[in-house]
Amino acid sequence: MSATDGADDFETIRVDLDERSYDIVIGAGVLAQAGTRIAELLPSSRAIIITDETVNSHHGDALRVSLDSAGIAQSTFAVPAGEKSKSYDTLQSVCEAVLEAGMERGDVLIAFGGGVVGDLAGFAAGVVRRGMPFVQIPTSLLAQVDSSVGGKTGINSPKGKNLVGLFNQPALVLADTALLDTLSEREMRAGYAEVAKYGLIDQPEFFSWLEKNHAAVFAGGAARRYAVATSCRAKADVVKADERENGARALLNLGHTFGHALEASVGYDATRLVHGEGVAIGMVLAHEFSHRMNHCGPEAAERVVAHLKDVGLPTRMQDVAGADFDPDTLMNAIAQDKKVQRGALTFILTRGIGQSFVSKDVPRDAVAAFLRDKLAAR
């Protein structure tokens, strides 16, 4: 495939995990095929759509029409939009809604929304009746290129982000790139941070392509589908090699250790900072910290900053509304990171654009001093 292929075609990427394998279908208009594809994959199933109130108002009827046309009986349960729905209370409400709807183990949960809904519904599908199949229909750029693929599900704890959850692979992912047209500019930019991440991990040529074509990705059509498909293919390859994040999959967390700490420090307040913005700042910090630790030259971070600024993403902690970050608070959040092993800090660092690596036993004092210096900068 190339970025100039017809925009109305669908591309299918296989996530090869033996008996847990599944397809990601990408393209404008694939939502209309949801009912047919689910009926073929899970015949005689009923469905419950887990979504959020915003997505339900924009796209809920289109999904229900598709399911009706395939003879799939369904109900819908909508949660409030936003990161705060990734909570114990909301998880309980979703589980109870599934049971109230009379869903059985052979029925299907449909996660219809962004990353919050996907994580929440996927977690519920993994625990209700000790496991039910679920289908991801991601409606945000961030979810299409990242959270809908790979089976990570979960909720946030007051101690930190995504600390309670499980690995639960979907049965199918349907990424309709036309749905992204209803996103705000801020949501699109936030999702784009995860697209850029794949180039920065190990695909420098993709990052170069993004530097030249990011406006076309935002505009839609073939360039958008190419960016989504390239990102999904990269993630599928990593997940195949390391499904449970015992090694190389940790590279997908480039920028996330710093980013998650920033999100926790603002109390997951999306008016101040959304996940992709935290990742953008985190990727800059990861490159700058890599330079401080003599892993790469300053030009890598400078290039990342320049590109993310071109896109309209924040690149400094001081860019966050009401920025009042405390280095000790950030370090406490970093200590809760899922990659911490026996108290030792693990970061994804880099030797240059597209040359990321897992660095274990990173000195706490070095990280704390780095954060103090970055927060003091003007």
162 and 195 housed in the same domain: no
Is there a domain that residue 91 lies in? Answer: yes
Q: Which of 182, 211, 236 is the last residue of a domain?
A: 182
Which pLDDT value is given to residue 340? 65
- Could you report the per-residue pLDDT of 224-278, keeping only the tens digit for each? 999 999 999 999 999 999 898 878 888 999 999 999 999 999 988 989 999 999 9
Distance (Å) of CA 333 to CA 258, 284, 341: 9, 18, 15
105 and 220 housed in the same domain: no
Is there a domain that residue 289 lies in? Answer: yes
Active site residue 187: no
Which pLDDT value is given to residue 160? 81
258 and 342 housed in the same domain: yes
- 173 in a labelled binding site: no
Give the CA radius of gyration of the chain.
20
Which pLDDT value is given to residue 141? 97
Is there a domain that residue 2 lies in? Answer: no
> Scanning the structure block, which residue is given the tokens 């993709």?
206
Other C-beta atoms within 10 Å of 218: how many?
19
143 and 172 housed in the same domain: yes
Is there a domain that residue 4 lies in? Answer: no
Q: Which of 131, 153, 182 is the last residue of a domain?
A: 182
> Scanning the structure block, which residue is given the tokens 């639960």?
168
Q: At 177, which CATH number?
A: 3.40.50.1970
Number of folded domains that form the chain: 2
Is there a domain that residue 143 lies in? Answer: yes
Which pLDDT value is given to residue 158? 86
Options 275, 307, 338, 374, the catalytic residue: 275
282 and 242 housed in the same domain: yes
- 354 in a labelled binding site: no
Active site residue 256: yes
Options 189, 197, 260, 291, the catalytic residue: 260
Q: Cβ-count burial of 298 within 10 angstroms (0-12 exposed, 13-18 middle, 19+ buried)?
A: exposed
Is there a domain that residue 1 lies in? Answer: no
| Pure H helices in 70-184 | 88-100, 115-127, 141-142
- Could you report the per-residue pLDDT of 124-141, keeping only the tens digit for each? 999 999 999 999 999 999
Which pLDDT value is given to residue 5? 42
Which pLDDT value is given to residue 338? 62
Active site residue 162: no
177 and 194 housed in the same domain: no
Active site residue 291: no
Options 11, 187, 194, 263, the catalytic residue: 194
- 35 in a labelled binding site: no
- 326 in a labelled binding site: no
- 116 in a labelled binding site: yes
107 and 242 housed in the same domain: no
Which pLDDT value is given to residue 66? 98
Are 192 and 276 in contact, with CB atoms under 8 Å apart? yes
Which pLDDT value is given to residue 1? 40
Domain range spanning residue 338? 185-376
- Give the residue from 10, 352, 362, 4 showing the smallest Cα distance to 203: 352
Which pLDDT value is given to residue 247? 81
174 and 215 housed in the same domain: no
190 and 83 housed in the same domain: no
| pLDDT tens track, the chain, 378 positions | 444 344 458 999 999 999 999 999 999 999 999 999 999 999 999 999 999 999 999 999 999 999 999 999 999 999 999 989 999 999 999 999 999 999 999 999 999 999 999 999 999 999 999 999 999 999 999 999 999 999 999 999 988 888 999 999 999 999 999 999 999 999 999 999 999 999 999 999 999 999 999 999 999 989 999 999 999 999 999 999 989 887 888 899 999 999 999 999 998 898 999 999 999 999 999 999 999 999 999 999 999 999 999 999 999 999 999 888 999 999 999 988 766 666 679 999 999 999 999 999 899 999 999 999 999 987
149 and 242 housed in the same domain: no
Active site residue 189: no
Q: Which of 182, 201, 235 is the last residue of a domain?
A: 182
268 and 360 housed in the same domain: yes
DSSP state of 341: B
Q: At 331, which CATH number?
A: 1.20.1090.10
Other C-beta atoms within 10 Å of 159: how many?
12
Options 256, 287, 338, 374, the catalytic residue: 256
Which pLDDT value is given to residue 298? 97
- 140 in a labelled binding site: yes
Active site residue 260: yes
243 and 347 housed in the same domain: yes
